[in-house]
Amino acid sequence: MGTSALLSLGMRAMFANQATLLSIGQNLSNANTPGYSRQQVVLSASAGEFTGAGFFGKGVNVETVTRSYNAFLTRDAANAKSNASMDTTRHTQLQQLERLFPPGESGPGYAANQLFNAMVDVSANQSDPSARQVVLGRAQELAARFSSAGQRLADLQTGVVSDLKANVDVVNQLAKQIGKANDQIARVSGAGHTPNDLLDQRDQLISELSSYVKVTTLPADDGTLGVFIGGGQRLVLGSISEQLTVTADPYDTSRAQLSMITSAGDIVLNESVLTGGSISGLLAYQNKDLQDARNLLGQMAMAFSERINLQQSLGLDLSSPSGLGVPIFESGEPRSLPARTNARNPDGSFVTTVELAITDATRLPAASFELRSDPASGGFLLTRRPDGRPEVLSAADVETRYGFSVNVSGGAMAPADSFLIEPVGQAAVGMRRVLDNPNGIAAAAPITAFTSIKNTGTVSVQSLYAVNNNISATMDPAAPRVPLQIVFGTVNPDSSINYTVTLADGSVITDSWSAGKRIGNFPLSGIDLGFELRLNGVPRDGDVIDVKKTEFPASNNGNAKAFLDLQSEQFVGRTVQADGSVLRGSSLTDAYAAAMSDIGSRVQGAEYLSNSSTAVANDAEQVRSGASGVNLDEEASRLMQFQQGYQAAAKVLQVGQTLFDELLKLSQR
């Protein structure tokens, strides 16, 4: 062994320590770089050289530079980030939605109560023009609140579409960059060393992509990484990246869906297969939360306006001559939207059209449906959106259960045809007051009741007003049933009092009365003359009440009292049971409170999920960083260690150089 071996050992040691110092410097420089993985030089001892005196080492080899990387922790951090982004996005959107259902004086419920309070003054002085004008003002305010909330919902929908497009643009750019990184990695993979910085760059791109859409990855033999979304749809494979696009909903062009562009055509990806990322959160918010809010608001607007208009149509106004009331409110029409794929005529029009009509606004559900034909039954397949089960219903079943009729025109529905049915989706945004004349408020009932002066009991008339369209038959000029007379008779053992109603056409109705029971409209007894007579006091045998057409509407407040009773009437969201019975719905105030509670609970649930998933994502990132990130204290310690190693190697080289110089001097003597 000569001095050349010592020089070689020193040089190898200096190079190894220098290489390690370079990696430490790289780590320190990128300690705060997102996605950077700590790099480390791999050293190995060179094989010894055999001599007669044994094996002598030949120094150290620099094998490669590796990065601290854990595939499981990296994947777990990306998935957690995806879930957190989805939950946070939905929570942020729901907070905006919650502002459309304000409590207290800002909500439609309060405005409706103000309308009823204004009607109290009309009831007290039905001919007072100022009181009537106040009623119209309150009606205008209520309609404006519904319309404004409906328009704001439309604006939120526009914002969702805009956000989706912006997110998809970012996803497409990230996919292209991942494809380029794959290409660069594949080019250098054959060199036998890992391109650490390129791998970090790709992992960081995938992490950023995960915040928009949940991904799964699959490594290839050439070092590239396949990226898949939506249950296995290829987004990046090798250097080739696919593109996502935002397309219009097949029914409603104001709504959006996510599609992947392929050579075979666009493939629709819904939120149920995306399962994570901000795009999934936006789609879930659009398809569920925003649609439910629109339907809840529309159900209240439609039920209230139709119920008010019905009562208005049953009363008499102050016009000359007096006539039945005309509508006070107008709401958005129900709509049926055909799918773009439905069968078309040669001119491009759809072969089949479906029209909706409201038949009973009190039974309208806060829901949207998908309608298809059912060839087996000849009826329809009606499916609640977005995730209901199909129901086989006839047209009559739909009308009975849900309060709207379905009328098919044109050609017969093809098996592949489908329609989006929105009975109340546009009701709120289209709500407005259409009555401008204060005299048009129908405060008078079409009939008036009089107690006989010969009565011996304490009975008096509490209220009398029309309640449904059967009053038209009762007052039909061709076969009038009024004037009619009610005569009370004997008292029954249960304290009820028998009575007889003699109609103008000579027909007779008998029943019994007890406190709180209505006369004229009591379906349980098979009586429905279209009006309700409520009494105070107790009649005696022989007492008489006469019911006649109203002659002086200006002095009658019967229908105004009917309006006041609507304040507590449960006419929103009545449901029909399987046995045909109808469950009571909610008053407008209660329905609005329930809607606020529903949206509020969604916000709270979304907030909890957002906080929880964000905490999980932060923990997962900390664990990943702990395994792959740079520890400044550790790197500083290693810096001193290898600095000393470098200095020691330099000393070895210096000693070898000195010995070599001495040998040269000796050889010159």
- How far is 63 from 281, CA to CA, in rounded Å? 47
The CA distance from 544 to 28, in Å, is: 102
| Distances, alpha carbon 309 to alpha carbons 123, 334, 447, 477, in Å | 17, 17, 19, 23
d(Cα 576, Cα 98) in Å, to the nearest integer? 30
Spatial separation of the C-alpha atoms in residues 487 and 482, rounded to whole Å? 15
Query: 386 lies in which domain range?
Result: 335-423
Cβ neighbour number for residue 206 with a 10 Å cutoff:
21
Please tell me whether residues 408 and 475 are part of one structural domain: no
Hey, which of 107-111, 374-378, 595-599 has the most confident mean pLDDT?
595-599
The pLDDT of residue 62: 87
Predicted confidence at residue 669, as pLDDT, reads 61
Q: What is the distance between the alpha carbons of residues 203 and 72, in angstroms, rounded to a whole number?
A: 12
Which of these ranges, 116-130, 187-201, 491-505, 604-618, has the smallest mean pLDDT? Answer: 187-201
Q: Give CA–CA dist 555/322, Å, rounded.
A: 12
Is residue 530 one of the residues assigned to a domain?
Answer: yes
**pLDDT exceeds cutoff 70 at 162:** yes
Domain boundary pick from 423, 438, 459: 423
* One domain, residues 454 and 542: yes
* The Cα angle at residue 613 between residues 278 and 598, in degrees rounded to 5: 75
How many CB atoms within 10 Å of residue 666?
A: 8
Closest CA to 288 of 597, 592, 599, 612: 599
Q: For residue range 230-239, list pLDDT tens digits in order.
A: 878 999 999 9
> Is a pLDDT exceeding 80 seen at residue 502?
yes
**Per-residue pLDDT averaged across 11-16, rounded?**
84
Q: Does residue 415 share a domain with residue 348?
A: yes
pLDDT given at position 179 = 95
Residue 655: per-residue pLDDT? 79
Task: Name the percent of the chain lying above pLDDT 90.
Answer: 67
Mean pLDDT of 165-176: 96
| Rounded-to-integer distance, Cα 484 and Cα 506, Å | 9
Q: Which of 488, 522, 549 delimits the end of a domain?
A: 549
Asked whether the beta carbons of 226 and 237 are under 8 A apart, the reply is yes
| Residue in this structure with the two tokens 């946070």, named with its chain if needed | 88
In a domain, 35, yes or no: yes
With vertex at residue 137, the alpha carbon angle to CA 585 and CA 463, rounded to the nearest 5 degrees, is 55
Q: With 0-12 CB in 10 A as exposed, 13-18 as middle and 19+ as buried, what is 35?
A: buried
Which one, of 336, 401, 347, lies nearest residue 372 by Cα?
Answer: 336
Would the pLDDT of 287 be above 90?
yes
Distance, CA of 368 to chain centre:
13
**Partners of 225 in beta bridges:** 219
Instruction: Please indicate, yes or no, whether residues 454 and 402 belong to a single structural domain of this protein.
Output: no
Question: Is residue 343 in some structural domain?
Answer: yes
Mean pLDDT score across all residues of the chain? 91
What pLDDT shows up at residue 50? 65
Widest distance between CA atoms in the chain: 160
C-alpha 647/C-alpha 525 separation (Å) is 109
Same domain, 343 and 415: yes
In the DSSP assignment, the letter for residue 212 is T
Residue 440 has pLDDT above 90, yes or no: yes
Q: Give the model's pLDDT for residue 635.
A: 86
Strand-pairing partners, residue 67, are: 39
- Rounded Cα–Cα distance for residues 463 and 445 (Å): 10
Where is pLDDT greater, at 524 or 293?
Answer: 293
Query: Which helix (DSSP H) or strand (DSSP E) does residue 261 occupy?
Result: strand 256-261
What torsion do the CA atoms of 422, 428, 430, 434 make, to the nearest 10 degrees? 130
Q: Are 564 and 116 in contact (CB under 8 A)?
A: yes
More confident position, 361 or 231 = 361
- Judge whether 218 lies within some domain: no
Does residue 391 belong to any structural domain of this protein? yes
Whether residue 398 is contained in a domain is answered as yes
d(CA 22, CA 15): 10
- Cα separation values, 408 from 339, 351, 379, 413, Å: 15, 11, 11, 8
Does the residue 261 lie in any domain?
no
**DSSP per residue, 298-366:** HHHHHHHHHHHHHHHHTSB-SSSS--BPPPSEE-PPPEEEE-TTS-B-TTS-BSEEEEEEES-GGG--S
**582 with 574: CB under 8 angstroms?**
yes
Same domain, 462 and 540: yes
Report the number of distinct structural domains present in the chain. 3
Task: Convert the pLDDT of each residue in 306-331 to its tens digit.
Answer: 999 999 999 999 988 899 999 999 99
Q: Torsion-angle region of residue 571: left (phi > 0), alpha (psi -120 to 50) or beta? A: alpha
Q: 485 pairs with which residues across the strands?
A: 502, 546
Report DSSP letters for 399-441, one per residue. Answer: HHHHSEEEEEEESPPPTT--EEEESSTTTTTT-EE----GGG-
The whole-number pLDDT of residue 63 equals: 85
In a domain, 325, yes or no: no
Return d(Cα 473, Cα 503) in angstroms, integer: 12
Residues 458 and 537 in one domain: yes
CA distances from 340 to 343, 388, 414, 421 (A): 9, 22, 13, 14
Non-local (6+) Cβ contacts of 112 within 8 A are 142, 304, 567, 588, 589, 592
Please give the pLDDT value at position 458: 93
Looking at the structure, tell me whether residues 537 and 467 fall in a common domain: yes
For residues 416 and 460, state if they share a domain: no
CA-closest candidate to residue 304, choices 440, 403, 427: 427
Place of tokens 């000569």: 2
Which of 549, 583, 613 terminates a domain? The answer is 549
- 444 touches 329 (CB < 8 A): no
Phi and psi torsions of 281, nearest 5°: -60, -40
Q: What pLDDT is stored for residue 1 in this prediction?
A: 52
Residue 142 has pLDDT above 80, yes or no: yes
b/e 627-646 (16+ beta carbons within 10 angstroms → b): ebbbeeeebeebbeebeebb
Same domain, 453 and 545: yes
Q: How far apart are the first and last CA of the chain?
A: 23
List strands edge to edge, sheet with 508-513. Answer: 447-451, 544-549, 484-491, 497-502, 508-513
What the block records as the tokens of 139 is: 């009606």
Distance CA 527, CA 564 (A): 24
Does the pLDDT at position 74 exceed 70?
Answer: yes
Residues 413 and 496 in one domain: no
Q: How far, in Å, CA of 333 to CA of 263, rounded?
A: 40
At 503 the pLDDT is 92
Mean pLDDT, residues 484-492 taken together: 94
Spatial contact of 427 and 298, defined as CB atoms under 8 Å apart: yes
Is the previous residue joined to 386 through a cis bond, with omega within 30 degrees of 0?
Answer: yes
Q: Does the pLDDT of residue 248 top 80, yes or no?
A: yes
